[in-house]
Amino acid sequence: MTTHAGVRPPPSLPALAQRAHALRCDVVRMVAATGQGYVQQGLGAADLFAVLYAHELRFRAGEPLWPERDRFLLSTAHNSAIFGAALASAGLIDRALLESYCLDGSPYEINMSERLGPVVEATCGSLGQGLSVAVGMALSAQRQCADWRSYVMLGDGELQEGQVWEATMAAGHYGLGNLCMLIDWNEMQVEGHVDQVMRMQPVADKFRAFQWAAEEIDGHDLGAIVAALQRARDTTDRPTVIIARTLVGKGAPCLEGIFGHNMRLPAAMAEQALAQLRASAPAEEVAA
């Protein structure tokens, strides 16, 4: 069981770095098994997922439907590799499931769905829907005076969906201080760079206009992620959006910065990426 960040000791940043590194290795291995998948997004978002599942979210590993759990929704459901790796690292799914990623007949599909089990709060395979679901959950908790929180992760290109802004308006209107949205701002979508498809800046100002607290951070700075999530928890009168700038392929120089939404990962490239990850593994934490 994890507890709210506000009532436990600060996390060890070296331990979070080790968790993020392990998640990156898992993502590469999972995608390498079939040679194609969402490796670039997973490597880029690993630090965010490490903090969420090793520190921020409240849950019970053996009780996935625990009523007091925090709700997390992956609106960018295609980013299933890193999500599954994070769930396994937290003990929320059997690690053996990772070996069936994208295989025919497996409940672990290339787009994360509720077929995987109750740890998936909602199937969000159509982009733009996750925030609406999270708003509904947060509003329900607010009306019940419950203290669990709703978290949702969107991609930057996803903000081009009109439904996102309808939900944004509703969340601000209801003052959902129990709602936190993270945007994985990696500048990549199916058609290429987000600015080539539809420019969206200044994003933070747009959210502020809808009565949200908004900040931009380095999505690979573990301390900054922890601090931003704590500020979100401390903001009780309005929802919070954390715009986290990330680099696709982060951690494996042979993949960094290469835009590939559903990228092919030949065996040789996968082995090179794993070798580079192993070479840059964070040092083991030394006990005081």
Mean pLDDT of 225-238: 97
Task: Provide the pLDDT for residue 35.
Answer: 84
| HSE-up (13 A, CA, CB side) for residue 266 | 3
Total number of domains constituting the chain: 1
Whether 285 is covered by a domain: the verdict is: no
Residue 151 has pLDDT above 80, yes or no: yes
- The strand pair at 263-264 and 36-37 is best described as antiparallel
Residue appearing with tokens 């005076």? 145
Task: Specify the amino acid at residue 215.
Answer: E
Q: Which residues lie below 8 Å from residue 10, measured CB to CB, with a gap of 6+?
A: 226
The burial of 157, by beta-carbon neighbours within 10 Å (0-12 exposed, 13-18 middle, 19 or more buried), is given as: buried
Q: Which residues lie below 8 Å from residue 176, measured CB to CB, with a gap of 6+?
A: 135, 138, 139, 142, 150, 238, 239
Residue 146 has pLDDT above 70, yes or no: yes
Q: Higher pLDDT residue, 177 or 280? A: 177
Residue 141 has pLDDT above 90, yes or no: yes
Whether 144 is covered by a domain: the verdict is: yes
Residue 168 has pLDDT above 80, yes or no: yes
Cα dihedral value 197, 203, 206, 212, nearest 10: 140
Instruction: Quote the domain boundaries for residue 101.
Output: 5-279
Whether 25 is covered by a domain: the verdict is: yes
DSSP state of 38: S
pLDDT digits (tens, 9 = 90+) for 102-132: 888 887 877 777 877 788 888 887 788 999 9
Residue 95 has pLDDT above 80, yes or no: yes
Task: Provide the pLDDT for residue 120.
Answer: 87
Mean pLDDT of 14-27: 96
Q: How confident is the model at residue 286 (pLDDT cuts 50, 70, 90)?
A: very low
Rounded CA-CA distance 257/138 in Å is 35
pLDDT digits (tens, 9 = 90+) for 67-90: 999 999 999 888 899 999 999 999
DSSP state of 68: T
For 152, the enclosing helix (H) or strand (E) is strand 150-155
Residue 253 has pLDDT above 80, yes or no: yes
Positive or negative CA dihedral for 138, 205, 75, 266?
Answer: negative
Q: Are 52 and 225 in contact (CB under 8 A)?
A: no
Residue 42 has pLDDT above 70, yes or no: yes
pTM: predicted TM-score of the whole model, two decimal places: 0.92
Residue 6 has pLDDT above 70, yes or no: no
Task: Provide the pLDDT for residue 43.
Answer: 96
Residue 2 has pLDDT above 70, yes or no: no
Residue 284 has pLDDT above 90, yes or no: no
Mean pLDDT of 86-95: 93
Whether 287 is covered by a domain: the verdict is: no
Provide the CATH number for the domain around residue 156: 3.40.50.970
Task: Provide the pLDDT for residue 27.
Answer: 95
Task: Provide the pLDDT for residue 9.
Answer: 61
- The strand pair at 240-245 and 179-185 is best described as parallel
Averaged pLDDT of the chain: 89
Residue 285 has pLDDT above 70, yes or no: no
